[in-house]
Amino acid sequence: MVSTALIAIDATILATAVHPLVQDLGGFAAFPWLFSIYLLAQAVSVPIYSKLADTIGRKPIILIGIGLFLLGSVLSGFAWSMPVLIAFRALQGIGAGAVQPMSITIIGDIYTVAERARVQGYVASMWAISSVVGPTLGGLFSQFASWRWIFFVNVPLCVLAFVLLLRGFHEKVEKTQRRIDVPGAALLAASTALIILGILEGGVAWPWDSPISIAVFVVGAALLVAFLLVERRAREPVLPLWVFRRRLLLTTSLSAFAVGAALVGLTSYIPTYLQVSLGVTPLVAGLALAALTIGWPISATFAGRIYLRIGFRLTAILGAAIVVVGAVLLAAVGLTPSIVLVAVFCFVIGAGFGWANVSTLIAAQASVEWNERGVVTGANMFARSIGSAVGAAVLGAIANGVIAANGGNESDPASVTLASTAVFVGVVAVGIMLLVSVVAMPRTPVSRAPLVAPGAVEEQPTTTGPIGTAGH
């Protein structure tokens, strides 16, 4: 939970400090890169860390991630120019790429199928808390101290998380000679970095049909093809292709993609929609959005009771259906803004996400052994990161198109209301995609028996990989 809090607070605290930060360092045109470079570094590193975790264990990977995140935070706090701060944000993102998936993978290792949903709810509550704490701290630091403290505040949390994991989490990994797929890792990082970069910056930093945009996608696609060819022959591929051949893993990854796309659309546009259309303060708009992150952990906490009775698939279908209903209601009131209704519908959508996301992730984890769980968890989170990038680009293009068609005034309440409503309709479409993907899931029986023993956990030796043991 403390490790997740690092990532959750960092995701929300920076936005409120952009104005004083730009006043101090300059580089207003480059400040979106503070977010893009972080997301990019995080996304491309997740599969690599996940494979290493299945090879050398979860503990060293998450400790390395926390260390890199701590170093990036301290350096960011001392940054003297915008380009330097962007570089240090990339280092933070590389650390975050280890912390978030390892937290979820460790939960899959040390808790039973029945316990995981409740524990995932606890971890998800960090995002709900951070959605309020992050912007508040950012505003306080910016107003009464310095924007640099939004990075220095990570230091005690990093130290606490590091010490807790070092002392409280123990695992024993079978010492075997393993090969690290360096060519595959390099090609995966390069190809996904270029493709995500093209998606994030297309229509923003350069036109979609510009030579640089075309070149980025062409080179990224070529490197991706090269990666697939290398992985087919690699003895221990960094991202095994069987992840995409198993129906359960494919459908759960598609659902994660849809969750990422829908989530970025809501979190990106609801605050601006409420501020411009109703004239509310950023804090009030943030609290309305916080209803989404409150509904998520509440429903996630009870998801275990549901999927133990009706199965992973039906639980995910119910969650996805709730998301669609909430999104439809949000789109229906888009042209007549109401902060109360927006908050209520965000809560409904968050509740749907809680059931859909938890049940699909745990279904994927429960379908594999210890030596594959890191890769499976990483693939799921990688799909969610890709979904966020694609969703940001597509929904952003929709919003920009609507505003351009109505005079191009980004401060006009009528134009912003129309554009935001169009985005909400797009979220409905993404919700339907989520529903279709979970309907396509195979019917997977849920065992009430523990996959791991409580307390000290020791899995039986297998011939397919290392033995993992963990304690809490």
Q: What is the CB-side half-sphere exposure of residue 219 using CA atoms within 13 A?
A: 13
Cα–Cα–Cα angle for 130, 135, 138, nearest 5°? 115
DSSP 328: H
Question: 40: closest CA among 200, 183, 150, 239?
Answer: 200
Higher pLDDT, residue 188 or 16: 188
Fold of 1-170: Growth Hormone; Chain: A; (1.20.1250)
Cβ neighbours of 184 (radius 10 Å): 25
Q: Is a pLDDT exceeding 90 seen at residue 439? A: yes
Question: What span, in angstroms and rounded, lies between the C-alpha atoms of 423 and 8?
Answer: 24
Give the model's pLDDT for residue 175: 58
Q: What is the pTM of this model?
A: 0.79
Q: 33 Cβ partners below 8 Å, 6+ apart?
A: 86, 89
Give the model's pLDDT for residue 445: 62
Amino acid at 339: I
Q: Is a pLDDT exceeding 90 seen at residue 74? A: yes
Q: Is a pLDDT exceeding 50 seen at residue 467? A: no
Tens digits of residue pLDDT in 36-67? 788 778 888 888 888 888 778 888 999 999 99
Domain locations in the chain as residue ranges: 1-170, 181-237, 242-448
Tens digits of residue pLDDT in 338-383? 889 999 999 999 999 989 988 898 888 888 887 788 888 888 888 8
Q: Is a pLDDT exceeding 90 seen at residue 430? A: yes
Give the model's pLDDT for residue 450: 43
DSSP 457: E
Give the model's pLDDT for residue 468: 35
- Is there a shared CATH topology between the 1-170 domain and the 242-448 domain? yes
Picking from 85-99, 159-173, 322-336, 393-407, which range would have the lowest pLDDT averaged per residue?
393-407
Q: Which CATH architecture has domain 242-448?
A: Up-down Bundle (1.20)
Residue 321: band (very low, low, confident or very high) from pLDDT cuts 50, 70, 90: very high
What is the secondary structure of 125-172 as a DSSP string?
HHHHHHHHHHHHHHHHHHHHS-TTHHHHTHHHHHHHHHHHHHHH-B--
Q: 174 Cβ partners below 8 Å, 6+ apart?
A: 461, 465, 466, 467
Q: Max CA-CA distance within the chain?
A: 66
CA dist 19 → 77, 143, 146 (Å) = 16, 11, 12
Give the model's pLDDT for residue 162: 94
Q: Is a pLDDT exceeding 70 seen at residue 455? A: no
Residue 28: band (very low, low, confident or very high) from pLDDT cuts 50, 70, 90: low
